[in-house]
């Protein structure tokens, strides 16, 4: 199980290869790569801020919750911070399990909870200026459904 908060980009394929290297107990790996959205050519970007230490502890707690709900063999969360441009990778979640159902469910759970419970602050900048990104009701609804199924 691993959590990394970093400024540097990551290679999803290389990360998953490291996660599964030499393992014969893994029957399924599910992953999610989040990208920074933006309209082509509008000069937009996003800056992510966080509190070092607190962020890693919260991401580890979210990961521990997933490991307590599903029989995971391994998991990886990489979340970037700093200034990112449209098309840049922002997050990788990968989970390994013996069976696909656990891998799919845990990956979806992790993304839903990261979206609403990870302590990152997002400042979008574009032609109209800068603004802080507010939480969306549908993100909260997606995360809340996991509370009902626990």
pLDDT for res 43: 63
At 26-39, the pLDDT tens digits run 999 999 999 998 76
pTM to 2 decimals?
Answer: 0.91
Q: Is residue 130, in this structure, part of any structural domain at all?
A: yes
Range(s) of the domain holding residue 120: 2-144
pLDDT for res 39: 61
Contacts of residue 80, Cβ cutoff 8 Å, sequence gap at least 6: 5, 6, 7, 8, 9, 10, 48, 88, 89, 90, 91
Domain holding 87: CATH number? 3.90.1170.40
pLDDT for res 125: 86
Q: Is residue 149, in this structure, part of any structural domain at all?
A: no
Q: Is residue 51, in this structure, part of any structural domain at all?
A: yes
Q: Which residues share a beta bridge with 122?
A: 48
Number of domains in the chain: 1
Q: Is residue 93, in this structure, part of any structural domain at all?
A: yes
What is the C-alpha to C-alpha distance for residues 94 and 127, in angstroms, rounded to an integer? 34
Q: Is residue 113, in this structure, part of any structural domain at all?
A: yes
75-95 in b/e burial notation, b at 16+ Cβ within 10 A? bbbbbbbeebebebbbbbbbb
Average pLDDT, the chain: 91
Cβ–Cβ < 8 Å for 119, 58? yes
At 97-147, the pLDDT tens digits run 999 999 999 999 999 999 989 999 999 888 888 888 887 888 778 888 888
Q: Is residue 150, in this structure, part of any structural domain at all?
A: no
What is the percent of the chain with per-residue pLDDT over 90, rounded to a whole number?
A: 73
Cβ–Cβ < 8 Å for 29, 96? yes
At 81-95, the pLDDT tens digits run 999 999 999 999 999
Please tell me the number of Cα atoms within 13 Å of 91 on its side-chain side: 19
Please tell me the number of Cα atoms within 13 Å of 105 on its side-chain side: 18
pLDDT for res 137: 80
What is the C-alpha to C-alpha distance for residues 49 and 147, in angstroms, rounded to an integer? 27
């Amino acid at each position: 199980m691993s959590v990394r908060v970093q400024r540097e980009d990551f290679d999803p394929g290389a990360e998953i290869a490291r996660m599964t290297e030499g393992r014969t107990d893994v029957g399924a790996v599910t992953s999610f790569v989040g990208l920074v959205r933006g309209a082509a050519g509008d000069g937009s970007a996003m800056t992510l801020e966080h509190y070092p230490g607190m962020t890693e502890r919260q991401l580890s707690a979210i990961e521990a919750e997933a490991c307590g709900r599903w029989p995971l063999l391994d998991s990886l969360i990489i979340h970037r911070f700093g200034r990112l441009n449209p098309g840049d990778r922002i997050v990788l979640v990968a989970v390994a399990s013996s069976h696909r159902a656990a891998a799919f469910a845990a990956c979806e759970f992790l993304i839903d909870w990261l979206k609403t419970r990870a302590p990152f602050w997002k400042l979008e900048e574009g032609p109209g200026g800068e603004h802080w990104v507010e939480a969306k009701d549908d993100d909260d609804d997606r995360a809340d459904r996991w509370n009902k199924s626990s």
